[in-house]
A and B are shown apart, each in its own frame.
Chain A
Amino acid sequence: MSASTAPQLREVTGPSALGGGRRRFFDLLWLMSVTEFRRIYFGTVLGYLWSLVRPLLLFTVLLFVFTKVVRLGSDVPNYPVLLLLNIVLFTFFSEATQNAVGSVVTQEGVVRKTQFPRLVIPLAVVLTTLFNLGLNLLVVLAFLLAWGVDPSWTWLLVPLPILALIVITTAVSTALSVLYVRFRDTMIIWAVLSQVLFYGTPVIYPIEIVPEQYADIMMINPLVPIFDQIRVWALDPSAPSAVDVAGGVVGLIPAAVVFIGVCAFSVWIFRRDAPRIAELL
């Protein structure tokens, strides 16, 4: 062993949110998500079906309630398809965020003993749920075609609001996972908050039945324009678009500010806490 072949001394800076090379980051992210996905869906008897059964069950109950009991949905075109689509989308958001809350703490053993980019943990949770969303959307698509909704060129635009949904889900998940390390009641608070969001987002009802003064307040929630726009582009071009509901492009600014604010907060808090997670656990 000659000195010339000796590896160079490099500074060790400790753990961080990213760091350690891009390839390793993505390898690790992919591997963790796939492993987790397999664990959840191959470890149980019904496997993947479980992830489908849950939204379908909720869908059936709500469909019954809102078409036979409350009759809220009877006037809405393609209401059952809209309901199913919305439930699948919202399930993605709530499942990803709620699983992410405890993710870093659950992985305590690994975090405290291994050096790797910490951001991988919440991201893997989101990615696992995203696999699920992909599969569920295929079911929704089959349902949509079977229901007789005509394909439209605007379907090509649907990935845009879905991407926005993925981004906000990721931001919220990341922030929650690191907040939970410091505040153990984050989980309870978030469980309640996501219930509030479920009703504060046009999931089970169409946005146009909300009285205008409340609709304005609701527009602060960035999920509202996202869900509304998906509906317009996927199912019902006659429904009011996000811009219509907001009363012009200016009306979308609060939602955009909240959206960007959440993302910025998430980046800030995770970068700040990532190096110290192992100590705080």
Chain B
Amino acid sequence: MEASTIVAADPATGTAPVAIEVRDVRKSFRIPTHRVDSLKERVVRPFSAGDVRILRALDGVSFDVHRGEFFGIVGRNGSGKSTLLKLLASIYRADGGTIRMAGRLAPFIELGVGFNPELTARENVVLNGVMMGLTPRETKRRIGAVLEFAELEQFADLKLKNYSSGMLVRLAFSVMLQSDADILLIDEVLAVGDASFQQKCADAFRRMKGEGKTIVLVTHDMGTVEEYCHRAMLIDGGRIRLLGDPAEVGRRYTRLNFEREAADGEGPPGESKQVRFLDAAALDASGERVDGYDTGGDVRLRFSFQALADLENVGVACMLADANGVPVFEFGSKVRGRDGSPRVRAGERFAVRVRFDNRLTPGRYFVHCGVTRTDLGTVLLHVHNAVDFVVSGRRANGIVRLDHEVSGEVEGAA
């Protein structure tokens, strides 16, 4: 229960005044099954209202966020979480219900931030500041600080269309931090950028938390939620499913994901006729679950399965890949039965553990695994992204940092 200690360490929560009050908020979108984009279609079929499907994105959502609270919103794609954030940010208008907010709102940031690509960083920063309600003079004073934090001083007069996505996110994040607002809304921004930028975000979050800012974070990365949030809320199908302890919300979210995947029947489910995938975890030396590792230590992973039929000669093969999907290396093992024979009986659980020296450079890594018949070479079950973890440490190029000896000296006579 790491989360509860954070709550205890922060007296602002719970007793603090309400910063965001959401009451029975509803929002539907009219999705034309046959989009009427041109005037001709509108003239030909002027009242073709029958073609419109109503998508209920939010269906009566109510909650409070207190001042100084770090509030997480999680949910699957299409659950309504981003719609909720856009309502809070005044980008959409709610169909019903009320939203009330105390204090100034920072620019809303997400991937592909609200910048004009034709303008330079400097111009965009000023525009963004004015959109938030600062005077042009105030914003001009802040430009220096914004560009410095983003480490983009030498690119200040470059048009944003020439920026890399990493640079854009850095700029957006920096604008948000320097906005000096009371309430910050953040959508999925931590999932991008290199490890050093993620580290910078993390530091900034900790500082903001200390300053008592109210932060609403939308993500589907449970690690972030459990690490930073005081409370979290799980949204599914436009409704609040659970609101409370981040760890509990995380567990429910994971379960919901698996239920849905099995029900969807699309892609590889966590189960086949012979085997069920139970769990995969990144562990530390004492066997506790972790989200990531420092470079130089050990990586320990565990994959657990349950046999649904009597199996023979089963093996588990895994592939570690980096965030770009580039395979780094593979490993695997045969599974021995209880009596030392290559047999696993129906209902029995089995696990594969691996330990390797962490030679990976900072970044995010994913492990895909498969259960195979080693004698026949057939795949019984394939699990995509069984587990993922983050490696942090000094930034370096390349995927791995191999053990090496290196020296430099003058050779031969002049």
Contacts and interface: CB of A to CB of B under 8 A. Distances in A.
A116 B17 CA distance: 27
B132 to A, nearest CB: 8
A230 B381 CA distance: 81
Given A14-B90, A112-B91, A276-B93, A6 B135 contact: no
B268 interface: no
Interface in B267-312: none
Interface residues of A, number: 42
A278 B86 CA distance: 10
Interface stretch (B116-124, B253-261, B360-368): B116-124
Interface in B132-190: 133, 135-136, 182
A9 B135 contact: no
A32 B124 CA distance: 10
B67 interface: yes
Nearest to B127: A31
Contact of B133 (A8, A20, A185): A20
Given A6-B67, A185-B40, A31 B101 contact: no
B99 to A, nearest CB: 4
Contacts of B133: 20-21, 24
A127 to B, nearest CB: 15
Interface string A262-276: 000000000000011
A75 interface: no
B245 interface: no
Nearest to A14: B93
Nearest to B17: A6
A183 B101 contact: no
B100 to A, nearest CB: 4
Interface stretch (B106-114, B317-325, B329-337): B106-114
A182 B32 CA distance: 12
A135 B180 CA distance: 40
B162 to A, nearest CB: 13
Contacts of A116: 131
Contact of A113 (B16, B108, B130): B108
A110 B91 CA distance: 10
Contacts of B12: 1
A185 B39 CA distance: 7
Contacts of B108: 113-115
A6 B104 CA distance: 11
B102 A10 contact: yes
Contact of B90 (A12, A39, A112): A12
A183 B105 CA distance: 33
Counting chain B CB atoms within 10 Å of each CB, the highest count among A7, A15, A30, A189 belongs to A7
Contacts of A12: 87-88, 90, 99-101
Contacts of A275: 93
29 contacts: A1-B212, A6-B102, A9-B101, A10-B100, A10-B102, A11-B98, A11-B100, A14-B90, A14-B92, A15-B93, A28-B130, A31-B126, A109-B113, A110-B116, A113-B110, A113-B113, A113-B114, A114-B107, A114-B114, A114-B131, A115-B131, A182-B37, A183-B42, A184-B38, A185-B39, A278-B91, A278-B92, A279-B29, A279-B92
